[in-house]
Structure 1
Amino acid sequence: MTSRSRTCLVVVAAGVLAACSSPAAAPPAAPPAAPTSAPTSGAPASAAPSGKSGKPDLSKSRTVASDLEVPWGLAFLPDGSALVSEREKADILQIPATGGTPRKVYRMPGVDPAGEGGLLGIAADPHYAQNKWLYAMFTAPDDNRIVRFKLDDGGKPQVILKGITKNVIHNGGRLAFGPDGYLYAGTGDGGTGGGPSQSRTDLNGKILRLTTDGKPAPGDPFPGSPVFSYGHRNVQGLAWSSDGTMYGIEFGQDTWDEVNIIKPGRNYGWPDVEGKAGNPKYEDPIVQWHTDDASPSGAAVCGRTLYVAGLRGERLWTVPLDGGAPKAVLTGRYGRLRTVAVAPDGALWLTTSNRDGRGDPKSGDDKVLRFPAS
């Protein structure tokens, strides 16, 4: 890996760029639409404000929302508040920047939840303050698809990409705007054993790069195609460091989960290889874990650290980007961890996934946790 600057911008399934060391310089957004229902969860105490160093303090957690049903996507608005998608209910909740009563601001029509499918990733347009566009990926009756929508117009979402094969497993679903302003989407192989992953004409088992109206973005490696990289099994984490290096997080099958540096047009090996193969035909991961130790989902970069949320592993992995061994933290403390993101004020947000049918739910699950920057 090449040497990188110490300051890092974060792009984490939110579509908003935020400096880890200081709040994002985004213009304030207009208030979201009025709730479509009464508050959905008890209001926790307001969280402590973040400091100025930009390093998340993982010893100071605060629950900012509780009693949710499989929170999956997490997107920050320019005012610092967060939107959270619930996979099963297809609701989108808004949570104040430092905690408070979550409120339902949208219900996504047409969602057909089953197994790992449902309302998945969400992202805010980089120009949200001006255009109010939001984006979501979800499982519909016939496929997985990506839509854009607004909270305040009550209109039907606009489908911008459809035809991604769905299944009860391996739906991918992560959305994020990159530093280039284009929308990236991680898709799964649809539980097919990986056949589509090696086909550059199939949308499954890929990372896609799109314009905001769902067309292939300029500069995509395969003319006329939104495919940015291929040979993936089930991508649920996307993140960038300040120099533009892109990281993709990959569920393994039985042996190795992966952290990959994503390069345009490259093949990441599934189903031919899992983990490091040493074959120049494929890109090797920079980090691999046994699946019992991770089963990773969301990812975020802050400072010179990549944070990766582990489901089966029930831990948060910290990966130093300047070299050194990854370290597991919060092991077993909160159960299954789905999504990790960095807020505009530098705080680290983390969602649990204990009600997804594979966890051991406790009182208050599922939760959204906030760790202030020190």
Structure 2
Amino acid sequence: MKKLTAYMLGGICLLLFSCGNDKAEKTTEAAPKPEANIQLDSTILGVTTIATGLDVPWDIAFGADGNIWVAEQAGTISRISPETGQRKQLLSIPDVWRERTAGLLGMELHPDWENHPWVFVDYTFRRDSLSFSKLVRYTFKEDTLVDPLVLMEIPGTSSHHGSRMRIGADGKIYWATGDAHQYNNAQDTTSPNGKILRLETDGSVPADNPIKGSYVWAWGFRNMQGLVFSSKQHLYTSEHGEASDDEVNLIQPLANYGWPKIEGYHETPAEAAFQEKHHTIPPLKAWTPTIAPAGLDFYAARQIPEWHNSLLLTTLKAQSLRVLKLNAEGTAIAGEKIFLTGKYGRLRDVCVSPAGEVYIATSNRDWNPSKGFPTAKDDRILKISKVGKITTTLLKEDVPASQAGAGNGAALYNQYCASCHKEDGTGVPGTFPALAGSPKVKGGSNALIKILLNGTDGKLQMPSFHFMKDEEIAAVLNYIRTSWGNDEKSITPEEITKQRTKN
């Protein structure tokens, strides 16, 4: 499993939790009751808020001390009691650089906590005018984290960091890195970016790595935000696509996963040719329109029998929890169930306790807030667990969003554009430009068509939507050009076709 599965003796757990309680912050009332229920085939679940007032809890882990360990993007690491919501801050890292998706990101607790009370974290920092991602090992001692040991530093930017890490049954660290917005990094095996890296816990290169003297375990990735081992020690990732094809992958050593030459399944002639030459591995599942997959855990418990042998996936854009049922071998996804859509906003990470309770971290105070969020209680930690009966609001399983029709500009806009430019076209100040009254929307159509077909460079690097049909591009552009006070002439599919042939 992604998180620790060992319990310490009750007395030890109590001692660890009670240490330093004079400094603890209480974030919720004791023993909160479920605020929502979920009805599965035969199991009733309760959804409970156990902690509030957090600031983008990027990674959460269930510790051997019985607490939820939380890494917040601004640079703090804390423990939260799942029973009372009491919070104890253990560390604040002063050199964390936070911008967009940069900050304190991934965190992993060593599974042999009694002998190795180590916490591994990945965070971004600045040196002169350059940014980097740093993998650091801390030691838990006397109710704090001390003795930082830098294991590795790699190039970074304000986004595309990947950042998740897990320790396998072999005792090695597996670190998922992003391409740092330099797409060629992913196919360059001499670059640490866009990779699964494999390290010893002291930062050295394992002698049995597939490329002698190299940390690289697998490559061809854009921006992985989920990483987990199953009980069979299969390694899975969740990965952000660009404008299409978010992915879940099953990782093999010395394997190429295609980015940026292949997105999602190997569908186009160019992708098929690249796959044949480089023996790339297709994903287990891909989503278009994108859902922005984030944290990933494996559910091995029996408490929720319907979820046994499933990957649990949180999503940002889709604001949902996905339960991806695996086949018996763990080599294919046999089904997908969707829960909590829009109920709690953006969901960043998930972890499972040894008792089979599921914990979820929201991400509503991050760089790209959704409509209606953040609320006064954001960000929060949620618990999903089995209960005896329905006592409150019943949340049903959600139906997957269907692909919008080619002529439905409003639906296409909501599927592809609204997560950045927002449903009302107002964008996010300083991040995503407003489309309402935009000079790029008004006037001639050719410039706007080029943007959708080719994307843009620069800090935002808007992706290309060349994969959409001409009729779809015309429909979404016409929706933009006639909404929110824009009053512009319609664009025809023939104009899209003509501009496409010039590219």
TM-score (norm 1): 0.86
CA–CA distance in structure 1, aligned partners of residues 203 and 18 of structure 2:
25
In the TM superposition, what are the counterparts of 1:69-148 in structure 2 within 5 Å? 69-88=55-74, 90-142=75-127, 143-148=132-137
Q: Deviations over 1:132-167 (max 9, x none)?
A: 2111000011410100112326634110111x1111
Aligned-residue offset at 1:45: 2.8
The whole-number CA distance in structure 2 between the counterparts of 1:147 and 1:276 is 35
Superposition deviation, residue 191 in structure 1: 1.2
Correspondence 1:297 to 2:294: yes
Q: Which whole-Å CA distance do the structure 2 matches of 1:190 and 1:174 have between them?
A: 14
Deviation by residue 1:14-60 (Cα, 9 ceiling, x = unmatched): 4x2x3xxxxx45565661695599444522333689xxxxx997731
Instruction: Give the Cα separation in 1 of the matches to 2:17 and 2:85.
Output: 15
CA–CA separation in structure 1 for the residues paired with 2:191 and 2:203:
16
Counterpart in 2 of 1:4?
none
- Asked whether the equivalents of residues 34 and 105 of structure 1 are also in contact (C-alpha less than 8 Å), the reply is no
Unmatched 5+ residue regions in structure 1? 1-9, 19-23, 50-54
CA deviation string 1:107-136 (max 9, x = no partner):
123211111111111111122122321110
Sort the Cα spacing of 1:290 and 1:40 in 2 relative to 1 into closer, same or farther, 3 A: farther
Letter in 2 for 1:130: N
In the aligned structure 2, how far is the partner of 1:36 from the partner of 1:265? 47
CA distance in 2, matches of 1:207, 1:219: 15
Residues 67 and 300 from structure 1, CA distance in 2 versus in 1: closer, same or farther, beyond 3 angstroms? Answer: same
Matched, 1:286 2:284: yes
TM-superposed deviation, 1:96: 1.4
**Is residue 2:343 matched to residue 1:333?**
yes
Q: How does 1:3-22 map to 2 (within 5 A)?
A: 10-11=1-2, 14=3, 16=4, 18=5
Q: 1:41 to 1:57 in 2, by over 3 A?
A: farther
Counterparts in 2 of 1:190 and 1:333: CA distance versus 1, 3 Å: same
2:254 to 232, 252, 265: 265
Shift of 1:94: 0.5
Please show how residues 216-227 of structure 1 align to structure 2 within 5 Å: 216-227=205-216
TM-superposed CA distance for 1:98, in Å, is 2.9
| Residue 317 (structure 2) aligned to one of 292, 312, 326 | 312
Q: Which has the larger radius of gyration?
A: 2
Deviates more, 1:221-230 or 1:74-83: 74-83
In the alignment, the residues of structure 2 paired with residue 141 and residue 36 of structure 1 have an alpha-carbon distance, to the nearest angstrom, of 34
- Between 35-44 and 169-178, report the one with greater CA deviation: 35-44
Query: Which one scores higher on RCO, CA 8 angstroms, separation ≥ 6?
Result: 1
3-state SS of paired residue (2:83): coil
Once structures 1 and 2 are overlaid, which stretch shifts more, 32-41 or 224-233? 32-41
Cα gap change, 1:287/1:42 in structure 2, threshold over 3 Å: closer, same or farther?
A: same
Q: Could you say what the CA RMSD is over the residues aligned between the two structures, in angstroms?
A: 2.4
Give the distance between the partners of 1:86 and 1:95, measured in 2 at CA. 12
Q: What is the aligned residue count? A: 347
Moved more, 200-209 or 315-324: 315-324
Cα pair 1:307 1:340 within 8 Å, conserved:
yes
SS at 1:61's partner residue? Answer: strand
Task: Return 5+ residue gaps in structure 2 as ranges.
Answer: 35-40, 267-271, 300-307, 328-332, 388-503
Residue 365 in structure 1 maps to residue 372 in structure 2: no
Displacement of 1:291: 4.6
Give the secondary-structure state (helix, strand or coil) at the position aligned to 1:195. helix
Structure with higher helix content: 2
**Identity of counterpart residues, as a percentage?**
32
Q: What's 1:161 paired with?
A: 152
Match for 1:178 among 145, 168, 171? 168
